[in-house]
Amino acid sequence: MSEIVHIAELTNLEKGRSLTQDAFLRLRKNKMAMFGLYFLLFLILVALLTPWIAPYSYEEQNLELGASPPSARHWMGTDILGRDQLTRIMYGSRISLMVGFIATAVALTIGVLWGAIAGFFGGRTDAIMMRIVDALYALPFTIFIILLTVVFGSSMLLLFLAIGAVEWLTMARIVRGQVLSIKKQEFIEAAISMGLPPSRIIAHHLIPNVLGPVIVYTTLTIPSVILLESFLSFLGLGIQPPASSWGSLISGGVEVMEEYPWLLAFPGVVLTITLFSLNFLGDGLRDALDPKSSRD
């Protein structure tokens, strides 16, 4: 009987719209951010399916053809060894995106844990942990990464760790700041004063409210990681042949750009558009999640 009453009552309810739903609606109205999102999804799909959909195999050379401009058979032309550039860019996207995502995941894990612990416990713990972050900030990290790759030889794993180790600092700062500001909010005090257990307060009240900025910053970290990897590869210190990332393709393109400009143009454009998409998506997410910041 009471069940029936409940259902009858529930159908009469006015459904609310949560902040997340609100944010998503706002994001959908932001054309550049949605372009970024779709392009990114497309890129991820292409990268995942590359071994099956690439027009040529990775090693396939055509020395007779040599470097040829874009044509019907080779949409993005070929390099000096007659390798199909589209194929190489597709394989390169696997590496660039993988570095981007994994290194960001490393940064995310360290940064969120570090920042959340410092922010939640506060006091002396916080002071010490943030002093360490401050000290690390003062270090010339790009140079450190170069040093690492020189000393230990460049490997993918090292790249992930090294780049992740650089990028977590800002994440830690953001998370700590957010935790501190949420912690001061009265709804947390209300939760404490209701006698809710700390685990519940963290899970239900703290984390959902800290998530927004973390998502935004994650989206903005991926492009800077991809950029850093490309930078290292460009200097010849990142991904080593025969593997290639966008950075090493660009590096190769620069050497021959006078004769074969398409070898610089295509990887350059793909990298730029990718960074563009991620940045626009990140900006869009920030505006959507924090409508005040977009100032309208």
Partner 1 sequence: MLLFIIKRILQAIPVLLLVATATFFMVRAAPGGPFDKDRSIPPEVITQLNKRYHLDDPLWKQYVDYMGNLLQGDFGPSFKYASHSVTELIAAGFPATLELSLYAILFALLVGLPAGMLAAVKWNTSLDYVPMSVAMIGICMPTFVLGPILLLVFGIWFGWLPVAGWGQVPGDKILPSITLGSVYAAYIARISRGGMLEVLSQDYIRTAKAKGLSTARIVFVHALRGGITPVISFLGPALAGLLAGSFVVESIFNIPGLGRFYVTAAFNRDYTMILGCTIFFAFLIILFNLLADIIQVWLNPKLRQELEARG
Partner 2 sequence: MNAETLLSIENLRVVFNTRNGQTIAVNNVSFSLRKGEVLGIVGESGSGKSVACYSLLGLIPAPPGNIESGRALFNGKDLLTLTEKEMRRIRANHIAMIFQDPMTCLNPYMRIVDQLTEVLLVHKSMNQQQARAKAIEALIEVGIHNAAERIDQYPHQFSGGMRQRVMIAMALLAEPELLIADEPTTALDVTVQAQILKLIKDLQQRRQLTVIFITHDLGVAAQMADRILVMEKGNLIEQGDTNSVFKNPSQPYTKKLLGAVLTTSKPVSSHAIDYQNKPLLEVKNLQVSFTQSTGAFFRKIKYLVKGVDDVSIKIHSGEILGLVGESGSGKSTLGRSIIRLVDSHAGEIIFDGKEIVTANGEDLKTARRHFQMIFQDPYASLNPRMTVFDTLAEPLIVHGLATKTNVLEQVNQLMDDVGLDRRFIRKYPHEFSGGQRQRIAIARAIALKPKLIIADEPVSALDVTIRAQILALLLTLTQKHRLTMLFISHDMSVVRYLCDRVVVMQKGRLVEEGTTEELFSAPKQPYTQQLLEAIPELDQHFRETGSVKI
Which of 90, 205, 267, 282 touches partner 2 by CB under 8 A? 205
Q: Which residues, numbered 230-289, are part of the site for partner 1 (CB under 8 A)?
A: 230-231, 234-237, 247, 250-251, 253-254, 257-258, 261, 264, 268, 271-273, 275-276, 279-280
* Contact code string over 14-33 relative to partner 1, x by CB under 8 A: --------------------
Question: Tell me, what amino acid is at 254?
Answer: V
Q: Residues binding partner 2: what is the number (CB under 8 A)?
A: 31
In angstroms, the CA 96 to CA 273 distance is 13
The residue with tokens 């966008």 is 246
* Contact code string over 208-237 relative to partner 2, x by CB under 8 A: xx----------------------------
Determine the 3-state secondary structure of 276 from DSSP: helix
Helices (H), the chain: 2-11, 19-29, 31-53, 85-121, 123-137, 141-152, 156-184, 186-193, 198-200, 207-234, 246-255, 262-289
- Find, among 40, 46, 57, 88, the residue nearest to 218 by Cα: 40
Listed ranges 69-77, 84-92, 197-205, 240-248: which one lies at the site for partner 2 (CB under 8 A): 197-205
Please, are residues 95 and 239 in contact by the beta-carbon 8 Å criterion?
Answer: yes
Any idea what DSSP says for residue 68?
-
CB 181 to partner 2: min, Å? 11
Contact partner at residue 6 from partner 1, partner 2, none, CB < 5 to 8 Å by partner kind: partner 2
CB 191 to partner 2: min, Å? 8
- To the nearest 10°, report the CA torsion of 222, 109, 215, 49: 50
267 CB contacts (<8 Å, ≥6 apart)?
Answer: 85, 89, 92, 246, 249, 250, 253
Which CB, 151 or 194, lies closer to partner 2? 194
Which of 4, 8, 193, 258 touches partner 2 by CB under 8 A? 193
Q: Which residues, numbered 14-43, are part of the site for partner 2 (CB under 8 A)?
A: 14-20, 22
Does residue number 6 form part of the binding site for partner 2 (CB under 8 A)?
A: yes
What are the backbone angles phi and psi of residue 81, rounded to the nearest 5°?
A: -85, 5
Residues that bind partner 1 (CB under 8 A): 135, 137-140, 142-144, 146-152, 223, 227, 230-231, 234-237, 247, 250-251, 253-254, 257-258, 261, 264, 268, 271-273, 275-276, 279-280, 295-296
